[in-house]
A = this chain, B = another copy of it.
Amino acid sequence: MKTEHPARDRPLVYLDYQAAKPVDPRVVEAMLPYFTERFANPASLHTMGDEAAEAMESARRTIAAFINARPEEIIFTSGATESNNLALVGYALRNRRKGNHIVISEMEHISIHNLAKYLEKNGFEVSRIPLDLYGRVDPAKVRARIRDDTILVSVGMASNEIGTLQPIREIGELLQGKGIAFHTDAVAAEGLLPLDVERDHLDLMSLSSNDIYGPRGLGVLYVRKGIPLTPLMIGGGQENGLRSGSENVAAIVGMSRAAEIMREEREQEVARLRTLRDRLIEGVLATVPKSFLNGHPSARLANNAHFRFTGIEGESLVLLLRDEGIQAATGSACSSKTLEPSHTLIACGLLHEEAHGSLELTLGRFTRPEDIEAALEAVPRAVRRLRQLSPLYKEEVPS
The residues of A with any CB-CB pair to B shorter than 8 Å are 3, 5, 8, 12, 14, 16, 19-23, 25, 28, 32, 35-41, 43-49, 52, 78-82, 84-85, 89, 110-111, 114-115, 118, 210, 215-218, 232-238, 244-251, 315, 318-319, 321-322, 325-330, 333-338
| Distance in angstroms between the alpha carbons of A329 and B52 in the assembled complex | 15
Evaluate whether A334 and B43 lie within 8 angstroms (CB atoms) in the complex, with A81-B236, A111-B234, A248-B216 already known. Answer: yes
By the criterion CB–CB under 8 Å, are B337 and A45 in contact?
yes
Cross-interface CB contact of A235 among B32, B85, B325, B326, cutoff 8 Å: B85
By the criterion CB–CB under 8 Å, are B245 and A80 in contact?
yes
Cross-interface CB contact of A16 among B46, B236, B249, cutoff 8 Å: B46
In the complex, what residues of B have CB within 8 A of residue A326's CB? 46
| Distance in angstroms between the alpha carbons of A87 and B210 in the assembled complex | 28
Cross-interface CB contact of A249 among B35, B82, B216, B319, cutoff 8 Å: B216
| Nearest-neighbor residue (CB-CB) of A337 within chain B | B43
Q: Can you report 23 A-B residue pairs in the complex whose CB atoms are below 8 A from each other?
A: A5-B37, A16-B49, A19-B40, A19-B49, A23-B35, A28-B35, A35-B215, A41-B336, A43-B336, A44-B329, A44-B337, A45-B315, A45-B322, A46-B322, A46-B328, A47-B327, A78-B245, A85-B233, A85-B235, A217-B218, A232-B232, A235-B334, A236-B335
In the complex, what residues of B have CB within 8 A of residue A49's CB? 16, 19, 327, 336
Instruction: Return A266 CB to nearest CB of chain B, in Å.
Output: 20
Cross-interface CB contact of A234 among B114, B215, B318, cutoff 8 Å: B114
Instruction: Return A254 CB to nearest CB of chain B, in Å.
Output: 9
| Distance in angstroms between the alpha carbons of A89 and B35 in the assembled complex | 31
| Distance in angstroms between the alpha carbons of A333 and B39 in the assembled complex | 14
| Distance in angstroms between the alpha carbons of A237 and B113 in the assembled complex | 12
Copies in the complex: 2
In the complex, what residues of B have CB within 8 A of residue A233's CB? 81-82, 85
In the complex, what residues of B have CB within 8 A of residue A44's CB? 16, 19-20, 327, 329, 333, 336-337
In the complex, what residues of B have CB within 8 A of residue A330's CB? 45
User: What are the nearest 10 A-B pairs in CB distance?
Assistant: A236-B334, A78-B78, A111-B235, A81-B245, A217-B248, A20-B41, A23-B35, A46-B327, A81-B235, A19-B41
Instruction: Return A255 CB to nearest CB of chain B, in Å.
Output: 11
| Distance in angstroms between the alpha carbons of A118 and B41 in the assembled complex | 25
By the criterion CB–CB under 8 Å, are B84 and A14 in contact?
no
| Nearest-neighbor residue (CB-CB) of A214 within chain B | B35
In the complex, what residues of B have CB within 8 A of residue A8's CB? 47
Evaluate whether A235 and B40 lie within 8 angstroms (CB atoms) in the complex, with A78-B78, A215-B250, A217-B248 already known. Answer: no
In the complex, what residues of B have CB within 8 A of residue A315's CB? 45
